[in-house]
Amino acid sequence: MKRIRTLTTKNLKQTMKKGGCGECQTSCQSACKTSCTVANQSCENK
Amino acid sequence: MVYQYIQNGYHIVLDVNSGSVHVVDKVVYDVISDYKEHSREDIAEAIRNKYPAEQLADADINEIFSEIEQCIGQGTLFTEDTYKKQITDYKKRDTYVKALCLHVAHDCNLACCYCFAGEGEYKGERSLMSYEVGKKALDFLVENSGNRINLEVDFFGGEPLMNFDTIKKLVAYGRSIEKEKRKNFRFTLTTNGVLLNKEVIDFLNKEMDNVVLSIDGRKEINDTMRPCKNGKGSYDLILSKIKETADSRKQQKYYVRGTFTHHNLDFDKDVLHLADEGFKQISVEPVVADPKEDYAILREDLPEIIKGYERLADELIKRKKEGNDFQFFHFMIDLEGGPCVYKRLSGCGSGTEYLAVTPQGDLYPCHQFVGQEEFLLGNVENGITNSKIRDMFKNCSVYAKEECADCFAKFYCSGGCAANAYYSHGDIHAVYELGCELQKKRVECAIMLKAAD
């Protein structure tokens, strides 16, 4: 496409199929402890 | 749901429900904003009126509509939220504990002014966790973790290194049972840096998956809010120690973490100060405080803080070009490998998969609730006995909060922090609006940085 540049992203709808394993890091165990930051957590079930 | 914004010259279109990010030109940007509300003919006429003919031939208009339709066909634009039922069902599943915030020391060797733990005591007595209590906590975690393999234990305080011997023994105990129990412990530690020395650093490098090192930034900023017990600033005492720790970890698997307050709304200067000191993993976060405190962040501070985030994002782009960049925790976003929708929408897990343990072995929904008796869940001996509180936390999700329904950032913050909501509104299912505004800005900056890559 010439006018729309789509960044490579994970399609969230697809993640409904095999997601929810619960193995990824709990957000507050990273660095925040005062906010809720989930989007930078890595998926453990790729 | 589509969210559009312009930052740093980038016209960004976020398709919230699929997670797709499009960087478009300004004409496409305008067309997308009218796409659902107006007819194709009306939109075409509007943009013909807005943009000079030499910039916009009929062929271009057809091309724009064709590209938009292509995105819609690929499920990356104007997608619907189809997750609610599945997330609601998911939240009804049995919960397993997978992460503990282990308060090994309710005592501290600093006297930080903004400490939510009240200089480490959490409204109780100064105390250290015994090995026996810590061991029971690890056993409790293993027994209640179901089929989860990765178990997280954060050594927290107060200042956890005031109880270093117990930490060493608990790590050894964890390692001794993980094979038999088919678990993988990921230990982390949050420290103010005062007690770091070679022995401690070697141990942390061997056993800790991540280390959080507290420092607020510039010396005068750090020393105002993070004094020692004798009133002197802590900056000179800790800087070389945390530098040594960061370097010994090859500038990976750690964060220097600061807190900014009403007194340093130009916190971006503190972030850059830490970067200039050589740190590559940096997190500086807004204080959460009673609005009556003079350092609390107020609504009128928002414009200045937002400008600070924008300045920081611009500087990151510049430094990346120069080969001198660093990671700012709140601008990190994993578009390609990030978490699934369940994780993104089902809340932080406090009170269910994540619990805090006091030195006496009492269980609370998270470190921010420790000492609030009405939130006491049970203890490591008898497990969770207050299922009413646990169930209240279990219901936390993006869909439990009306305010989140139309928010583009809900897939990035998971509905926000339950403690912030409670302390601002007395209800864990509320939202902390100030925090939301900042979160939204951070997500915008993070996505803009991806567009600039």
| Residue B121: pLDDT band with limits 50, 70, 90 | confident
Q: Mutating which of A36, A43, A45 best tests the B interface, going by the most B Cβ atoms within 10 A?
A: A36
- Chain A residue whose CA is closest to B415: A36
CB nearest to A20's CB, from B340, B417, B451: B340
Mean pLDDT of chain A: 85
B343·A9 Cβ contact <8 A: no
pLDDT reading at B58 higher than 80: no
Percent of chain B with pLDDT over 70: 100
CB nearest to A12's CB, from B18, B287, B435: B18
The pLDDT of residue A32: 77
The residues, ordered by sequence, that sit 6+ positions from B393 with a Cβ below 8 Å of its Cβ are: B347, B350, B351, B352, B365, B418, B428
The pLDDT of residue B289: 84
Would you say the pTM of this structure is higher than 0.80?
A: yes
Residue B332's identity, in one-letter code, is M
State how far the Cα of B8 lies from the Cα of B449, in Å rounded to an integer.
Answer: 9
Which chain B positions have a beta carbon within 8 Å of A8's beta carbon? 335-336
Q: With 0-12 CB in 10 A as exposed, 13-18 as middle and 19+ as buried, what is B417?
A: buried
Nearest to A8 by CA among B121, B140, B453, B360: B453
CB nearest to B335's CB, from A10, A19, A32: A10
- List the single range of B62-71, B120-129, B135-144, B370-379 with lowest mean pLDDT: B120-129
Q: How far is A21 from chain B (nearest CA, A)?
A: 8
pLDDT reading at A46 higher than 80: no
Q: Rounded to 10 degrees, what is the CA torsion of B364, B369, B373, B376?
A: -20
| Residue B408: pLDDT band with limits 50, 70, 90 | very high
Nearest to B329 by CA among A27, A10, A7, A23: A27
pLDDT digits (tens, 9 = 90+) for B225-249: 999 999 999 999 999 999 999 999 9
CB nearest to B152's CB, from A4, A26, A39: A26
Nearest to B212 by CA among B192, B228, B197, B229: B192
State how far the Cα of B227 lies from the Cα of B238, in Å rounded to an integer.
Answer: 11
- Chain A residue whose CA is closest to B20: A9
- Chain B residue whose CA is closest to A8: B336
Q: Mutating which of B21, B26, B343, B423 best tests the A interface, going by the most A Cβ atoms within 10 A?
A: B343
Q: Is B352 on the interface with A (CB under 8 A)?
A: no
pLDDT reading at B345 higher than 90: no
B75·A24 Cβ contact <8 A: no
CB nearest to A7's CB, from B23, B332, B347: B23
Which chain B positions have a beta carbon within 8 Å of A25's beta carbon? 99, 150, 152, 186
CA B2 from chain centre, in angstroms, equals 24
The pLDDT of residue B34: 97
Q: Is B32 on the interface with A (CB under 8 A)?
A: no
User: Do B333 and A40 meet the contact criterion of CB atoms below 8 Å apart?
Assistant: yes
Q: Would you list which residues of chain A are within 8 Å, Cβ to Cβ, of chain B?
A: 1-13, 15-16, 18-20, 22-46
Joined together, the tokens standing for residue B288 give 């959460």
pLDDT digits (tens, 9 = 90+) for B258-277: 999 999 999 999 999 999 99
- The listed range with the strongest mean pLDDT (A9-23, B107-121, B208-222, B408-422) is B208-222
Which chain B positions have a beta carbon within 8 Å of A23's beta carbon? 148-150
| Residue B93: pLDDT band with limits 50, 70, 90 | confident
| Residue B57: pLDDT band with limits 50, 70, 90 | confident
State how far the Cα of B259 lies from the Cα of B113, in Å rounded to an integer.
Answer: 11
State how far the Cα of B120 lies from the Cα of B363, in Å rounded to an integer.
Answer: 17
3-state helix vs strand vs coil in chain B, percent to 5: 45, 20, 35
pLDDT reading at B107 higher than 90: yes
Joined together, the tokens standing for residue B437 give 């505004």
CB nearest to A36's CB, from B286, B337, B417: B417
- Chain A residue whose CA is closest to B443: A39
pLDDT reading at A34 higher than 90: no
Which chain A positions have a beta carbon within 8 Å of B285's beta carbon? 32, 34-35
CB nearest to B413's CB, from A9, A22, A38: A38
Average pLDDT, integer, range B273-298: 94
B186·A25 Cβ contact <8 A: yes
State how far the Cα of A12 lies from the Cα of B1, in Å rounded to an integer.
Answer: 13
The residues, ordered by sequence, that sit 6+ positions from B3 with a Cβ below 8 Å of its Cβ are: B13, B14, B16, B408
Q: Measured at the alpha carbon of residue B435, what is the angle toward residues B434 and B440, in degrees to the nearest 5?
A: 100
The pLDDT of residue B178: 97
| Residue B32: pLDDT band with limits 50, 70, 90 | very high
